[in-house]
């Protein structure tokens, strides 16, 4: 994998459903993997930053896991609510620099009431 | 707590005109960044400043210049705007260490006709 890839591109779920998205990235020269939540007409907000292989982080109903050896991260949302509707972005450092982040194109989640 | 403040929010330019996008943060962050967001693309890094007094090119620097005026402020200048620079521009800041998240401004929507 040369770039940061996210799947699916979009997702529609019903209120109460649990769901998950995937972020795949190059495993070489890894520093950190970021997850952001981006609501329409707002700016991206950080959810998690993970650096260690096997890392798991949780914030309320949202959690994330990281596998740096195989180059993927999963974001899980338990019991989705309409207010979870947003685009979820992942990003990892690139070019051997801790400052340059390469973003994926995002997963657009729509939670229907 | 204002966080990251960008001005202006909207701007329309004619081809060849110049303008400067302003960004200021009040979180005492070391690092600042300029990204652009285009339909179907992930956020792409234009320039970044790892610390006061330094600036470096990102993924798409052509047609732009930056100035890290002081620790708080990081401006982006378009010397001769082109229609290809029509985009939404986001400024961000971070503490600059490995696991520090980005904090984004609210964006500037720029149209070049």
Distance of alpha carbon A21 from alpha carbon A87, whole angstroms: 11
The answer to whether residue A1 scores a pLDDT higher than 60 is no
Give the residue from A102, A87, A89, A88 showing the smallest Cα distance to A32: A102
Query: How does strand A10-14 pair with strand A107-112?
Result: parallel
**Residue B44: φ, ψ to 5°:** -120, 135
Selected residue of A48, A101, A107 to mutate for chain B interface (largest B Cβ count, 10 A): A101
Q: With bands split at pLDDT 50, 70 and 90, how would you rate the model's confidence at B96?
A: confident
Query: If interface means Cβ-Cβ distance under 8 Å, which residues of chain A face chain B?
Result: 4, 31-32, 34, 36, 42-46, 49-51, 89, 91, 98-106
pLDDT at A31: 87
**Average pLDDT of the residues in A25-54:** 92
Alpha carbon distances (Å) from B76 to A24, A25, A30, B61, B64:
31, 29, 29, 10, 7
Q: Which residues contact A101 (CB under 8 A, 6 or more apart)?
A: A34, A91, A92, A93, A94, B45, B102
Q: Which residues of A touch B96 (CB under 8 A)?
A: 98-99
Cα B33 from Cα B50, distance rounded (Å)? 8
Mean per-residue pLDDT, A15-38: 94
Nearest CA-CA partner of A105 in B40, B94, B95: B40
User: pLDDT tens, A53-110?
Assistant: 999 999 999 999 999 999 999 999 999 999 999 999 999 987 666 678 899 999 999 9
pLDDT digits (tens, 9 = 90+) for B71-91: 999 999 999 999 999 999 999
pLDDT for position A54:
94
Joined tokens for residue B37? 């967001």
Mind listing the pLDDT tens digit for each residue in B8-35?
999 999 999 999 999 999 999 999 999 9
Partner-chain residue, chosen from A49, A100, A105, that has the shortest CB–CB distance to B101: A49
CA B110, CA B31: separation in Å to the nearest integer? 24
Q: Chain B contacts of A92, Cβ < 8 Å? A: none
How much is the pLDDT for B62? 96
Residues of B with CB below 8 A from A91's CB? 42-43
Q: What is the pLDDT of residues B43-63, one digit of tens each?
A: 999 999 999 999 999 999 999
């Amino acid at each position: 994998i040369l770039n940061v890839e996210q799947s699916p591109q979009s997702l529609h779920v019903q209120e109460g459903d649990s769901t998950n998205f995937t972020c795949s990235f190059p495993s070489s020269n890894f520093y950190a993997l970021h997850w952001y939540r981006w609501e329409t007409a707002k700016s991206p907000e950080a959810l998690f930053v993970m650096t260690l292989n096997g890392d798991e982080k949780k914030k309320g109903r949202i959690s994330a896991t990281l596998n740096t050896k195989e180059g993927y991260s999963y974001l899980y949302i338990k019991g989705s609510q309409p207010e979870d509707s947003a685009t979820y972005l992942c990003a990892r450092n690139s070019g051997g620099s801790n400052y340059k982040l390469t973003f994926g194109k995002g997963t657009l989640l729509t939670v229907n009431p | 707590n204002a966080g990251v403040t960008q001005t202006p929010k909207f701007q329309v330019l004619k081809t060849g005109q110049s303008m400067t996008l302003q960004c200021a943060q009040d979180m005492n962050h070391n690092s600042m960044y300029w990204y652009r967001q285009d339909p179907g693309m992930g956020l792409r890094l234009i320039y970044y400043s790892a610390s006061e007094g330094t600036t470096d090119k990102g993924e798409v620097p052509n047609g732009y210049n930056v100035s890290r005026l002081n620790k708080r402020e990081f401006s982006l200048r378009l010397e001769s705007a082109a229609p290809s620079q029509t985009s939404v521009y986001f400024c961000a800041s971070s503490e600059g260490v490995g696991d520090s998240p980005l904090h984004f401004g609210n964006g500037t929507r720029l149209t070049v006709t």
